[in-house]
Chains A and B, each alone.
Chain A
Amino acid sequence: MALIEVKNLTKSYENDGVATSVLYGLNFKIEKGEFVAIMGPSGSGKSTLMHILGFLDKLTAGSYIFEGKDVSGLTDDELAEMRSNQVGFVFQAFNLLPRTTVLENVMLPLTYVKMDQAERIKKSKEALIAVGLEHRLNHFSNQLSGGEKQRVAIARSLVNNPAVIFADEPTGNLDSKSGLQVMRILQSLNEAGRTIILVTHEKYTADHARRILRVKDGLIIEDVEVAKRLFAKDGEELMK
């Protein structure tokens, strides 16, 4: 059973009675444990696709099957449940809460889950260990470098043990060294069995994934294994 399966996925927006189509009948599957890059230029529809797959948006037509269940017609609250339990997000702009400690930022998703506070703290610390920031627990988010901020964001996306992590241009705001660190963490998470879906417009970043779904004008124009996969390791690029 595929983790994600979309059939004829279509999305259009309506503004002042005028419908604008963004995605045109997409079909693909993503298995558990995959590292998929959704790649395409601005306006191609890749972000819209990620929003639908990440339960932030609803599709207009077609179906979306997640872990064998059709989730196409979920209500707003049901979508929120899915976001809370099944997915984690890493954003280009980090989106950490200002004037809030690293630990509190990582704990945020668990605020909406029934759990003891001690358990929340324990899980958050584990997530921070996974990204190598256990020594920054009580620092405020504004005291961190860009790379560290994104690592906190990755820890936050991990903390609820999601089925899949969506990373939307995670290296877009980072220098190349920090970008590599982030990609290394994503790759190691994937090595450990985590499903990662990366959204990027850069071929270079996409080449860190195992598979690329190339999107253009709302259509998937290519679905291929990465031929020459890049591995980020300790600040230097290794090619397999």
Chain B
Amino acid sequence: MNIIKEIHNVWNIVGRNKVRSFLTMLGIVIGIMSVIVVMSVGAGAQSLILNQVSSLGSNLVGILPGQSEDEGPPASAMGIVITTLKYEDIKSLVGPEFPYIVAATAYVRGVDTVNWGDNKTDTNFVGVSAALPEVEDTNVSIGRFFSEEEEKSLARVAVLGSQTAKDLFEGTDPIGKQIRIKKTSFTVIGVMGERGSSGFQNQDNQIYTPITTAQKLLLGIDYVSFGRVKVDGAENVDKTVEYVKQVLRERHKITNPEEDDFSVRTTAQGLDALTNITNALKIFLSAIAAISLIVGGIGIMNIMLAAVQERTREIGLRKAVGAKNSNIITQFLIETVMITFMGALMGILLGTLISFAAGKVAQSLGYHWDIVVSLSSVLAACVVGVSIGLVFGIVPARRASKLNPIEALRYE
């Protein structure tokens, strides 16, 4: 018996039970499709985030509270709140003693439903320094950004993101209007130009207030969650990193660098860290999607066991006309593998279509989104499909081969 002939025979058997074969392979179709979509959308999202971060420029240095590996995720990414980094730390970095730093800002964040009269919108409010436009290379499109004096005096002024302005004011000029954030009135003094998304943050749907105001009046904290300094040129970034570390160690009275309670990151390091985080997320989500493959495999095993029972007489007949146990095992294994392999192919096709559609939607929304269905993920899906067929097909196949031909022929 040659394997091609056997595949041809099994193809006929599968073809005779089209509906059942399709339902059997559905679990695998969905499983493979999910993995392909997760991998592809993950890769698209990863490229989006990395592109946006790298577009920030290579002359920025970030300061995070808490110690972290150079390429590992910061503590804040794991939901840990560290209170050791203060606004004063960030402010102290700017000065004539280190002229390479041209500007610095710190950040604190919160979420609230903001309202103007009866209009409401859910948004983020971000407490930043007056130097934010200079650090992030951005500016207001209407009105003005707040000044250092307003920052010092805890002024209740707000600059809206372009989306927030639209949501809240619907065409009315927002300048001079009073909005309420966490029951505190703020005067709108400006609206930012459109900025797009940065990572998972929609920068157009947020409200900027002086950091001091946000800390005292809105959040009731005295620490910051992030700091960023702008260096005059990329060639001075390494020097700046060392300087920032030195200043913070002095301010925090740290003598041993291993006890640093902060991390200093360049954009390049940030990109590495983000790549690691997004890779981990991709693998995690793929693993969840892969669980459906196991469920699909168990479903196939169940149906094949039922098929063995249903086809007991056929197995008895095949044995009576000369089939060896190995022929029966081969037949049922090929049948299972063929079903899972076809399921994998359909899953790849559907997954690719969905990934493509998702990518097109993201692109139409203005995101820089790469549509990636890698050859390796397609090959992996095929290998997984065949492996599932082999693993979950072996039990039914062995059971079929062990049937006694006489009893099998008598089976009613």
Contacts and interface: CB of A to CB of B under 8 A. Distances in A.
A97 B314 contact: yes
Given A51-B406, A97-B314, A117-B5, A108 B321 contact: yes
18 contacts: A76-B325, A77-B325, A80-B322, A81-B322, A81-B324, A88-B321, A89-B321, A95-B313, A95-B320, A100-B12, A100-B16, A108-B318, A109-B322, A112-B318, A112-B324, A114-B2, A117-B5, A156-B321
B406 A57 contact: yes
B139 interface: no
Nearest to B318: A108
A80 B406 contact: no
- From DSSP, what is the main secondary structure of chain B's interface residues? helix
Given A89-B321, A95-B320, A111-B6, 20 more contacts: A51-B406, A54-B320, A80-B319, A80-B323, A80-B324, A80-B325, A83-B322, A85-B322, A100-B12, A100-B16, A104-B12, A108-B321, A109-B322, A111-B5, A112-B318, A112-B321, A112-B324, A113-B322, A114-B2, A160-B322
Interface in A62-105: 76-77, 80-81, 83-85, 88-89, 91, 95, 97, 99-100, 104
Interface string B292-323: 00000000000000000000011011111111
Nearest to A80: B324
Contacts of A51: 406
Contacts of B405: 56
Interface residues of B, number: 24
Contacts of B16: 99-100
A223 to B, nearest CB: 25
A88 B317 CA distance: 11
B9 A111 contact: yes
B321 A76 contact: no
Contacts of A156: 321
Interface string B38-75: 00000000000000000000000000000000000000
B312 to A, nearest CB: 11
A48 to B, nearest CB: 9
A107 to B, nearest CB: 10
Contacts of B77: none
Nearest to B6: A111
A95 B406 contact: no
A143 B358 CA distance: 50
Interface in A125-177: 156, 160
B278 interface: no
A56 B313 CA distance: 14
Most A-side CB within 10 Å, residue of B317, B320, B323, B327: B320
B19 interface: no
Given A97-B314, A111-B1, A56 B320 contact: yes
Contacts of A100: 12, 16
A-B pairs, 4 with minimum CB distance:
A84-B322, A109-B321, A112-B322, A80-B324
B317 A95 contact: yes
B317 A112 contact: no
B406 A112 contact: no
A80 B318 CA distance: 10
A91 B409 contact: yes
Nearest to A105: B317
B317 A97 contact: yes
Contacts of B2: 114
Nearest to A117: B5
Most A-side CB within 10 Å, residue of B6, B9, B12, B321: B321
Given A80-B319, A108-B317, A111-B9, A95 B324 contact: no
Contact of B320 (A81, A89, A111, A117): A89
A114 B4 CA distance: 12
Interface in B363-411: 405-406, 409
Contacts of B325: 76-77, 80
A56 B322 contact: no
Nearest to B323: A112
A43 to B, nearest CB: 14
A119 to B, nearest CB: 12
A215 B16 CA distance: 43
Nearest to B325: A76
B321 A83 contact: yes
Contacts of A117: 5
Contacts of B326: 77
Contacts of A83: 319-322
A89 B16 CA distance: 25
Contact of B406 (A56, A99, A104, A113): A56
Nearest to B322: A84
Contact of A95 (B5, B322, B323, B409): B409
Nearest to B326: A77
A84 B5 contact: no
A76 B401 CA distance: 11
